[in-house]
Amino acid sequence: MQSSTSAARPGRPRSAAADAAILEATREALVELGWSKLTLGDVATRAGVAKTTLYRRWAGKNELVVDAVAALFDELELPDRGSLAADIEGVVLQFAAILDLPEAKSGLMAVVTESTRDDALRERIRESIVDRQKRLVLEGRARATARGELPPETDPEEAARTADLIFDMVAGAVVHRTLVSARPADEEWVRNFTRVLLQGLGGPA
């Protein structure tokens, strides 16, 4: 099986503006054409760059779509709404809103399906989307600890394992609710989910 990870190639430095235009064009193509009809040639035309520019940056369509979707999740922020419960509700509502975007739905579902046959692609999804967003859990716990809502963490390894579990619970629940069950993660659902999550953390419900 060919590796999904593109090797570093010599050449001019990457342009952040060009990368942003390419990822935006990829998301537009996902909405207008869908996964099956999206091609690197179409993305290059939309972004106003040469097709070779895409191949210097991404090994293929799978990797490109992962990065285009990852950029959406990079916009997630943990709001400071005064309490751990309110903070969680705020970020979960943001997460659900991103998953409701047509480009996020089609892109994420497609690359997850493709990753079942491609270990390197699965690793790219984990690194580009999952691992980068675990920062939100760490920020939330640190803020809640400073407020006195959660006890201080004394074991770094246990803290890391707990952060992984919390992220899996939140992401898994929201993805299942919105993409698998196709039901809204509205304010009432998010409030009830947060209450259950906090009961497990031992924090204020």
Kindly report the CATH number assigned to the domain that includes residue 47: 1.10.10.60
Q: Is the dihedral of CA 22, 27, 31, 37 positive or negative?
A: positive
As for how many domains the chain has, the answer is 2
- Whether 114 and 47 share a structural domain: no
pTM for the predicted model, two decimal places: 0.83
Please answer whether residues 123 and 110 qualify as being in contact, where contact means their C-beta atoms are separated by less than 8 angstroms.
no
pLDDT, position 11: 45
- Whether 132 and 160 share a structural domain: yes
- Whether 49 and 75 share a structural domain: no
- Whether 111 and 177 share a structural domain: yes
Question: Which amino acid would we find at residue 37?
Answer: K
Instruction: Give per-residue pLDDT as tens, 79-90.
Output: 999 999 999 999
Kindly report the CATH number assigned to the domain that includes residue 171: 1.10.357.10
Question: CB under 8 Å to 122, separation ≥6 — which residues?
Answer: 115, 116
Average confidence score pLDDT of the chain? 89
In this structure, is residue 174 part of a structural domain? yes
- Indicate whether 5 pLDDT > 60: no
- Whether 95 and 41 share a structural domain: no
- Whether 36 and 95 share a structural domain: no
Instruction: Give per-residue pLDDT as tens, 119-167.
Output: 999 999 999 999 999 999 999 999 999 999 989 988 989 888 988 999 9
- Whether 28 and 117 share a structural domain: no
- Indicate whether 67 pLDDT > 80: yes
Residue that has been written with the tokens 């079942």 in this structure:
116
- Whether 123 and 40 share a structural domain: no
Instruction: Give per-residue pLDDT as tens, 27-60.
Output: 999 999 988 899 999 999 999 999 999 999 998 9
- Whether 141 and 45 share a structural domain: no
Give the percent of the chain with pLDDT over 70.
91
- Whether 84 and 31 share a structural domain: no
- Whether 121 and 166 share a structural domain: yes
Residue 52 token pair: 């070779």
In this structure, is residue 65 part of a structural domain? no
Q: Is the dihedral of CA 109, 29, 131, 176 positive or negative?
A: negative
- Whether 180 and 98 share a structural domain: yes
Neighbours of 49 (CB within 10 A): 18
Domain of residue 39, residue span: 16-57
Angle between helices 61-73 and 40-47 (to 10 degrees): 50
